Amino acid sequence: MGFNSAFCEYPLQAAVKGDEEQAAEAYDSLQTDPELGDLVTTHGPLYLDPSDDLFRRLVHSVVGQQVSVASASAIRRRLFDTVEVTPSGVLAADTQVLRDAGLSAMKAEYVTAVATVFDREGYCKESLATAPNEEIVDTLTAIRGVGPWTAEMQLLFTFGRPDVLPVGDLGVRRGIERLLGADLTRTEMRTRAEQWAPYRSYASLYLWRTVDGEE
């Protein structure tokens, strides 16, 4: 693994193309797609807006696992208002404080597990910035409570990787089925989405727009 915790001490340099430039290129490419094009034109350019803080964004995703959007938003608000959302801040917080913020006992364990590993290993966005997608997913899913969906959300919304299709996400699957008018397996979805490469992350943003407001 090409990991170096010393990178965490320095600002992240521009390891990937700026989101605005990348989004414009994705818009131009996807707008010509016979199936996705109308949706792209309707919504205009959409942005990944990558987070600067891998740990905070990972906690954000863990909180959102298997709960409604509204519930996740309320829990995040309480948690982020109550606890310093850093590895050391979470580890310093009493478990009951995490529970009082709305985390289930299992989610409190997961958030603490993430904090423990980040504190021990020195993980941060900078240290993993040049790692391939598979290595980032493998690194994160080795942490208790972090599954493939949670790891893939970091590829999009922390690392700004442009070509990730998170078919583990219910909204993406619903969006594909609604767009294509067919009930597809995940393998079939990946196959159909090959035409959106190398901008499948941005295609996912448009697919989510088709199910906005749904739980």
77 and 102 fall within a common domain? yes
Residue 196 lies in a domain: yes
- Confidence bin at 13 (pLDDT 50/70/90): very low
Residue 10 lies in a domain: no
Alpha carbons 94 and 107: distance in angstroms, whole number: 14
* Domain region containing 185: 17-48+162-215
CATH code for position 188 = 1.10.1670.40
190 and 114 fall within a common domain? no
Residue 22 lies in a domain: yes
80 and 99 fall within a common domain? yes
Q: Which residues, in sequence order, are CB contacts of 42 under 8 Å at separation 6+?
A: none
CATH code for position 83 = 1.10.340.30
Instruction: Tell which wins on pLDDT, 165 or 214.
Output: 165
Q: If you write DSSP's letter for every residue of the chain in order, what string do you get? A: ----GGGGGSPPP--S--HHHHHHHHHHHHTT-TTTHHHHHHH--------S-HHHHHHHHHHTTTS-HHHHHHHHHHHHHHS--SHHHHHHS-HHHHHHTT--HHHHHHHHHHHHHHHHH---HHHHTTS-HHHHHHHHHTSTT--HHHHHHHHHHTT--SS---TTSHHHHHHHHHHHTS---HHHHHHHHGGGTT-HHHHHHHHHHTTTT--
- Confidence bin at 25 (pLDDT 50/70/90): very high
109 and 201 fall within a common domain? no
Output the pLDDT for position 38.
96
Instruction: Tell which wins on pLDDT, 27 or 67.
Output: 27
Total number of domains constituting the chain: 2
Q: Is the pLDDT of residue 1 over 60?
A: no
166 and 137 fall within a common domain? no
169 and 143 fall within a common domain? no
144 and 174 fall within a common domain? no
24 and 110 fall within a common domain? no
Output the pLDDT for position 166.
96
When mean pLDDT is compared across 9-13, 100-104, 130-134, 149-153, the lowest value belongs to: 9-13
Output the pLDDT for position 138.
98
70 and 145 fall within a common domain? yes
58 and 139 fall within a common domain? yes
User: What's the whole-number mean pLDDT along residues 117-129?
Assistant: 96
Residue 99 lies in a domain: yes
Q: Is the pLDDT of residue 2 over 60?
A: no
From the CB of residue 84, how many other CB atoms can be counted at a distance below 10 Å? 11
Q: Is the pLDDT of residue 6 over 70?
A: no
Contact criterion met (CB below 8 Å) for 55 and 79: no
Q: Which two tokens stand for residue 121?
A: 């290993």
Residue 115 lies in a domain: yes
Q: Among 111, 132, 157, where does a domain finish? A: 157
* pTM, 2 dp: 0.87
Q: Among 134, 157, 180, where does a domain finish? A: 157
From the CB of residue 42, how many other CB atoms can be counted at a distance below 10 Å? 9
141 and 195 fall within a common domain? no
* R_g of the chain, CA atoms, integer Å: 18
